[in-house]
Homo-oligomer: A and B are copies of this chain.
Amino acid sequence: MGNLTDQNQYIGAIEAGGTKFVCAIAASSNPSEILKQASFPTRDPSSTLNDVIGFFQQNVSQNGSLSALGIGSFGPLGVSSSLPNYGNILATPKKGWQGTDLISWFTKAFPGLKIAIDTDVNAAALAEGMHGAAKDLHSYVYITIGTGIGGGVVINNQIIKGHLHPEMGHLSIHQEKSDSFTGVCPFHKNCIEGLASGEAIHQRWGARAETLPPAHPAWDLQATYIASLCQTLTAVLSPQRIILGGGVMQQSHLLPMIQQKFLMKAGGYWQLPTDYIVTPALGNQAGIIGAIQLATNTL
């Protein structure tokens, strides 16, 4: 990492996750110019946000100031700057966080600071387009398959939003007849997050995904469900590429299984390039790099 005294104006970024908050100070949106990075466990909003604010105050104030702050946060989240719930965490099951107005916290700590906020997965999607697996593409989808499942759509460098933001985890999919698992989603039981998230794997098989060997039947079922998701995304959006990230995708035997199932399901209908379904290029740095990009876009 570089030297924080290189300049007087820095870009601040936060990847606000359910487990930890990653914070970074950068000289530019170039991923090689992240000058300082730290993470703090996610506790209650007040403790966590004071940790984060302290990080920026200690590291920036002596050497300069922040020109902008980008936040990629867990959701659901108010993402329309024209609505009163902008920057608020909405109906999250994460205890204590519903209704937290993230923007207000940072506006109070850093008056006048330009702040941009979006979901963590939208931030990661943006980063993969700027610097990663979707560079030079005008239409792609980024999916994270971890404890939960989420997705972001980027068209012409713009993150897609509408009434709210996509919540792909709650996509309804066809449950295999051989699969009698109830599903872990409290809202829909057997949506894709309910059937194919890391938490679903854990509860269905009684073991965490990373402990299951490649020949375990969990992976065939997992590949079937994720291939269904890819088929749905193809029919609805016809993207140029689908990027599958998140902890569950770190099992390297999974991607080729998904690619093969997708081709079978597609029934020869779609003529797609061989690198249509890929894993991310930025790994677990995508979220924070995306948050830096959100900040940079305000300047």
Chain A positions 135 through 156: 1 when the CB is less than 8 Å from some CB of chain B, otherwise 0 = 0001110000000000101011
Chain B residues whose C-beta falls within 8 Å of the C-beta of A231 in the assembled complex:
171-172
Tell me, rounded to whole Å, the shortest Cβ–Cβ distance linking A111 to chain B.
Answer: 31
Pick from B158, B165, B173, B232: contact of A156, CB under 8 Å = B158
Report the bound CA distance from A168 to B240 in whole Å: 16
Q: Which of A32-40, A248-256, A262-270 contacts B (4 or more CB under 8 A)?
A: A262-270
- Knowing A161-B139, A163-B272, A267-B187 touch, does A172 contact B232 (C-beta < 8 A)? yes
A239 & B162 in contact (Cβ 8 Å cutoff): yes
Q: Tell me if A188 counts as interface (CB < 8 A to partner B).
A: yes
Pick from B153, B170, B238, B276: contact of A165, CB under 8 Å = B238
Q: Which of A233, A265, A270 has the most CB of B within 10 A?
A: A270
A160 & B187 in contact (Cβ 8 Å cutoff): no
A235 & B175 in contact (Cβ 8 Å cutoff): no
Q: Tell me if A207 counts as interface (CB < 8 A to partner B).
A: no
Chain B residues whose C-beta falls within 8 Å of the C-beta of A153 in the assembled complex:
236-237
Measured as residues with beta carbon below 8 angstroms from the partner, the interface class of chain A is 35 or more
Report the bound CA distance from A227 to B171 in whole Å: 12
A160 & B237 in contact (Cβ 8 Å cutoff): yes
Q: Tell me if A167 counts as interface (CB < 8 A to partner B).
A: yes
- Knowing A175-B174, A268-B187 touch, does A166 contact B232 (C-beta < 8 A)? no
In the complex formed, the residue of B with least CB distance to A151 is B236
Q: Tell me if A53 counts as interface (CB < 8 A to partner B).
A: no
Chain A positions 166 through 198: 1 when the CB is less than 8 Å from some CB of chain B, otherwise 0 = 111111111100000000000110010000000
Tell me, rounded to whole Å, the shortest Cβ–Cβ distance linking A263 to chain B.
Answer: 13
A174 & B173 in contact (Cβ 8 Å cutoff): yes
Report the bound CA distance from A235 to B151 in whole Å: 9
- Knowing A173-B174, A232-B236, A269-B188 touch, does A139 contact B168 (C-beta < 8 A)? no
Q: Tell me if A109 counts as interface (CB < 8 A to partner B).
A: no
Q: Which of A212-252 contact B (CB under 8 A)?
A: 228, 231-240
Tell me, rounded to whole Å, the shortest Cβ–Cβ distance linking A283 to chain B.
Answer: 25
A238 & B162 in contact (Cβ 8 Å cutoff): yes
Q: Tell me if A164 counts as interface (CB < 8 A to partner B).
A: yes
| 6 CB-based A-B contacts, threshold 8 Å | A162-B240, A163-B239, A163-B276, A164-B270, A171-B231, A172-B232
Q: Which 8 pairs between the two chains have the least Cβ-Cβ distance? A: A139-B162, A171-B235, A162-B238, A162-B239, A187-B269, A187-B267, A174-B174, A164-B238
Interfacial residues, chain A to chain B (CB-CB below 8 A): 138-140, 151, 153, 155-156, 158, 160-175, 187-188, 191, 228, 231-240, 265, 267-270, 272-273, 276
